[in-house]
Structure 1
Amino acid sequence: MGISYAYKYIMHLSYLGTNFSGWQIQDNAKTIQGVLMEALKCIVNKDIPLIVGAGRTDSGVHAINFYAHFEWDEINIEQLKYKMNRFLPIDIVLHSINRIDIDFHARYSAKSRKYEYWLSTVKDPFLINRAYFFEKTLNLELMNLGAKMFIGKKDFSAFSKSKSLNNVCSIKSAYWVKSKNMLIFSIESDRFLYNMVRCIVGTLINLGLEKINLDQLSNIMLSSSRSHAGYSVPACGLYLVDIKYPKVFSLESI
């Protein structure tokens, strides 16, 4: 049997994913989860249980709001937060640590997740590895008509290489907005398949370039074939921006 701890704690953090091979611990690779666990282990000077994340972001993907949980005995939360931020590299920031209900699970308790994809329409050296530079003219109105077609409970096999037996997702919202020299795609769903958002964005770019039309987009969605959809855009423009949990779980200190 594993060791039982008295409390469960939730971490709220942000990270720039450029220098990491994603969230999940891997052999011979620098990951967000691995760096967090190493920092915590150094501080408590003991072996620690797994830090469980809200999701498994891929290599190069960023997170503006990310949550993770771990179990431990009573600790001084403010001291731990201070020490963790001293240990962590500049591209990971720990905003808070709080005690949470023992039934909470950072991944499985989540009701929905929201991602954004950032497309820069001008060459900007300050956005290297933070946005996808795309200078061709896009039909944003057509792309938003296409984005609306993704909303609802549908099979997204055409937009993922996932080998999951269940490729059905419930998309709550999907839309593009223009902000100065940036085109931002937002999408919220109860779950996402591997590489799904980046495949959807690549397909909507093809729609915006008028390489395909709305009828063809509909046929792609119905095909369940990844080979029919658009290309997977680079990871650098993808951000996990929000995760929603049931109100029963207070993310504030208890």
Structure 2
Amino acid sequence: MYNYLLRIKYNGENYHGIAYQKEFRTISGEIIKNLKINEFKLSILSRTDKGVSAEENYISISTNTEIKSFNINLDNIKILNAYKLTDFINIRKFSLGKLYQYNLPKGLFNKIYKPKYLTNLEKISIDSNQNDFDINKYMEGSKYFIGNKDFHNFAKGKIENPYCIIYKFNIEDSDNYYINYVEGNRFLYEMIRRIITFLISVGYNLFPLELIDKVFTYNLDPKPFPADPKFLILKKVYLNWRELYKYIEDIII
């Protein structure tokens, strides 16, 4: 078998995510098709959702076909680097963390998340009147997400391990966007997009700042819905290269 590791970038707006699916057009599916591979095994570092883009992501491939060229003719997908491996690897095991960017349009969204209750041993009603959007409240709310937290309220479905560590959550003001940079050790399915939706409600005074600490121990009803994926970008992934280099036989490109 031939084993490879690919570092890639892509605009995911018109794709059904990165994970291979026979019935849908996906990032990994287009790469496999253009590399002319028939039988293969894949491991994807970050399984970005439908519509999400990446400036850096990694795929490891095992195939019975030697790949002669890694030049693929795709406008929205690029192979930045290719490595020949000694064995097939689960690339996720080498991940140390990720940095995401969410470009929140200043026009915001027509649909605004409106939380109703926090429930645990008690039930707390969220009674707030909507005000004009306040970016300062949004930014203040983002600080509560830094640290090792239980993010069960910000993931789709039930999660076996809801704990993630957010190292930084920075927000920059540009002409058309509030640019969110979120760095952490791992992220749950739809986690960042649901956090953005929640913080928008904080900015509109629909969730009080003094109750944010409780969203990591109580249940939010309803859960925040995910924000638009087309504004989310995987900026950078951090790998344990000391361990990874043990499997690299050659640097192809």
TM-score by length of 1: 0.79
Closer, same or farther: CA 233–18 of 1 in aligned 2, 3 Å: same
Other-structure match for 1:13: 8
Closer, same or farther: CA 25–215 of 1 in aligned 2, 3 Å: same
Other-structure match for 2:102: 117
Closer, same or farther: CA 215–228 of 1 in aligned 2, 3 Å: farther
Matches within 5 A, 1:98-109: 98-100=83-85, 102=87, 104-109=89-94
Q: 1:104: how far off?
A: 5.0
TM-score by length of 2: 0.79
DSSP 3-state at the match of 1:19: coil
Other-structure match for 2:143: 148
Question: Match of 1:204, as an amino acid?
Answer: L
Other-structure match for 2:17: 22
Matched, 1:66 2:61: no
What is the alpha-carbon distance in structure 2 between the residues aligned to residue 188 and residue 81 of structure 1? 30
Q: 1:139: how far off?
A: 2.5
Q: Identify, as 1 or 2, the structure richer in strand.
A: 2
Q: 1:105: how far off?
A: 3.3
Other-structure match for 1:242: 236
What is the alpha-carbon distance in structure 1 between the residues aligned to residue 180 and residue 234 of structure 2? 12
Question: Match of 2:187, as an amino acid?
Answer: F
Question: Match of 1:81, as an amino acid?
Answer: F
Other-structure match for 1:217: 212
What is the alpha-carbon distance in structure 1 between the residues aligned to residue 24 and residue 169 of structure 2? 33
Closer, same or farther: CA 176–103 of 1 in aligned 2, 3 Å: same
DSSP 3-state at the match of 1:205: helix
- 8 A Cα contact 1:155 1:224, kept in partner: no
5+ residue gaps, structure 2: 111-130
Q: Identify, as 1 or 2, the structure richer in helix.
A: 1
Matched, 1:50 2:41: yes
DSSP 3-state at the match of 2:91: coil
What is the alpha-carbon distance in structure 2 between the residues aligned to residue 224 and residue 33 of structure 1? 35
Q: 1:15: how far off?
A: 0.9
Percentage identity across paired residues of the two chains = 25
- 8 A Cα contact 1:220 1:228, kept in partner: no
Question: Match of 1:117, as an amino acid?
Answer: Y
- 8 A Cα contact 2:97 2:183, kept in partner: yes
- 8 A Cα contact 2:10 2:55, kept in partner: yes
- 8 A Cα contact 2:139 2:171, kept in partner: yes
Question: Match of 2:251, as an amino acid?
Answer: S
Q: Please tell me the root mean square deviation across aligned C-alpha atoms, in Å.
A: 2.6
- 8 A Cα contact 1:37 1:48, kept in partner: no
Matched, 1:96 2:90: no
Matches within 5 A, 1:166-185: 166-185=161-180
What is the alpha-carbon distance in structure 2 between the residues aligned to residue 205 and residue 148 of structure 1? 14
Matched, 1:81 2:62: no
- CA offsets 1:98-151 (integer angstroms, 9 cap, x no match): 2356475322211101111112226xxxxxxxxx768x9642332222111111
Other-structure match for 1:39: 34
What is the alpha-carbon distance in structure 2 between the residues aligned to residue 203 and residue 51 of structure 1? 34
DSSP 3-state at the match of 1:107: helix
Is the deviation greater in 113-122 or in 147-156?
Answer: 113-122
Matched, 1:197 2:192: yes
Question: Match of 2:69, as an amino acid?
Answer: L
What is the alpha-carbon distance in structure 2 between the residues aligned to residue 53 and residue 232 of structure 1? 22
